[in-house]
Amino acid sequence: MRIVFMGPPGAGKGTQAALLSSALGIPHISTGDIFRANVTQGTPLGKEAQSYMDAGEYVPDGITNAMVRDRLTHDDARPGFILDGYPRTVEQVAELDAMLRSAGTKIDCVIELTVDVDAVVARLVRRSAEQGRTDDTEDVLRRRLEVYAEQTAPLIELYQSRNLLVQVDGLGEIEAVTAAILLAVNS
Ligand code: AMP
């Protein structure tokens, strides 16, 4: 199974993608997690990405696409994967299409976690305090939500037109959201 997770910052994509990854036995590939690991390790990729992340902007497509292209060639991703936080731009969709075409595979399902914006803000402010993330201050958060609305929300219609989109309410209890996602994925 090849699954894409979408939804605004704070929708719970990371939590749900990790749970689904365990349930299905396929890797959870989070571009945000990969960028953060590179920032922590002080790699050249991390140094390039950090200023964009700290400002709430997207890391340029060229950098992000190359990173995902590399990750998807790892053996563990051969039977399937859950992409969390990628693609986020129209150009990334085209690039992912090209990667999958050359591998002779395709996306099976795009899950959009839907949430109310006020609930998201409350969730992210709490997470910021818990995890010490520098990209969740209120100004940066507002910018992250704006960038999502401008650049990523249009992808929802695009995947809907391909009949791949499944919308799941992300605001329930974690277990209930996971159950709804599993139901959607299995049907
Ligand atoms: P996330 O944890 O998915 O919210 O990602 C944290 C940050 O990493 C984002 O605000 C972006 O700066 C960067 N990032 C993650 N995924 C992407 C992507 N697909 N395209 C561009 N930037 C990304």
Instruction: Establish if 57 belongs to a structural domain.
Output: no
Tell me, yes or no, if 123 is annotated catalytic: no
Q: Which of 68, 165, 66, 60 is nearest to 111 (CA)?
A: 165
Task: Find the catalytic residue in 2, 36, 88, 123.
Answer: 88
Instruction: Establish if 50 belongs to a structural domain.
Output: no
| C-alpha 123: how far from chain center | 17
For 182, residues 6+ apart whose C-beta sits below 8 A from its C-beta are 20, 23
Instruction: Establish if 67 belongs to a structural domain.
Output: no
Question: What region, left, alpha or beta, does residue 85 occupy, with left being phi > 0 and alpha being psi -120 to 50 degrees?
Answer: left
Q: Count how many domains the chain has.
A: 1
Token digits for 41? 């390790």
Mutate to test the pocket of ligand 1, among 13, 15, 35, 47 (most ligand atoms within 8 A of CB): 35
- CB neighbour class for 183 (10 Å; exposed up to 12, middle 13-18, buried from 19): exposed
Instruction: Establish if 13 belongs to a structural domain.
Output: yes
Instruction: List the chain pLDDT tens, one digit each, 187 residues.
Output: 999 999 998 888 999 999 999 999 999 999 999 999 999 999 999 999 999 999 999 999 999 999 999 999 999 999 999 999 999 999 999 999 999 999 999 999 999 999 988 888 887 778 777 877 666 677 888 888 999 999 999 999 999 999 999 999 998 899 999 999 999 988 8
The answer to whether the CB of 84 falls within 8 A of the CB of 6 is: no
Helices 61-72 and 44-55: angle between axes, nearest 10 degrees:
130
CATH of the domain at 88: 3.40.50.300
| Cα within 13 Å of Cα(124), Cβ side | 25
Instruction: Establish if 52 belongs to a structural domain.
Output: no
Supply the range of the domain harboring residue 128.
Answer: 2-30+80-186
Q: Give the distance (Å) from ligand 1 centre to CA of residue 91.
A: 14
Q: Closest residue (by CA) to atom 2 of ligand 1? A: 32
Instruction: Establish if 41 belongs to a structural domain.
Output: no
Instruction: Establish if 92 belongs to a structural domain.
Output: yes
Task: Find the catalytic residue in 127, 142, 143, 162.
Answer: 127
